[in-house]
Structure 1
């Protein structure tokens, strides 16, 4: 008698456990739930990307200051008033279409 009762209770508990697991999985796989999960992951990834970009900018500024110090370019503008502003030169481009003569 106790054996039958034990197996009956064990089977009922296993059925409740399995039903609960299946219901949770079904709720997790609904389109609304999947969309919400994807949106959460996208927001999280955006925050991480923003933090990474901030770290990169900070590192770039630190490294630029180190290089300026090493090259002696970190002097204030008052010490070198005669130096002109840096110029950017464009890349000379060939506007003619060249054909290979073979």
Structure 2
């Protein structure tokens, strides 16, 4: 009798354990939880990539400044020469309207209703 009770209790415990595991997994697989998990992972990945990009940019800037200093020493440049002002190009505009801009109706419009 004790054996049957032991195995019955073991079976009930295993059933309860399996049911709880399945219910937890089902809750994790709902669309809301899947969307929240995906959003969290995307935010974490974005933050990680941003940190790496910022670190890379700082490394590039440091190496660029170091290389510029090396080149200035090699070329014997003491001070930064003053650069000329940047060029500004005037925008070229056609002030006269085209033939089609002057008229609102087009005489040879093939898409008009017949």
TM-score, with structure 1 as normaliser:
0.70
Q: What secondary structure, in the 3-state scheme, does the structure 1 residue paired with 2:51 have?
A: helix
**Residue 54 of structure 2 corresponds to which residue in structure 1?**
54
Structure 2: 5+ residue stretches without partners: 86-114
CA-to-aligned-CA distance 1:1-27 (integer Å, 9 cap, x gap): 111111011101100110001001100
Give the C-alpha shift of residue 78 in structure 1.
7.6
Structure 1: 5+ residue stretches without partners: 86-102
List structure 1 segments (4+ residues) > 2 angstroms apart after TM superposition: 77-85
Which of these two proteins has the greater Rg computed from alpha carbons?
A: 2
**Residue 36 of structure 1 corresponds to which residue in structure 2?**
36
Q: What secondary structure, in the 3-state scheme, does the structure 1 residue paired with 2:53 have?
A: helix
**Residue 5 of structure 1 corresponds to which residue in structure 2?**
5
* Greater relative CO (CA pairs within 8 A, separation 6+): 1
Total equivalences in the alignment: 84
| 1: CA distance, partners of 2:33 / 2:82 | 65
**1:12-91 equivalence runs, <5 A:** 12-72=12-72, 79-81=79-81
**Structure 1 41/80 Cα, relative in aligned 2: closer, same or farther at 3 Å?**
closer
Give the C-alpha shift of residue 79 in structure 1.
2.7
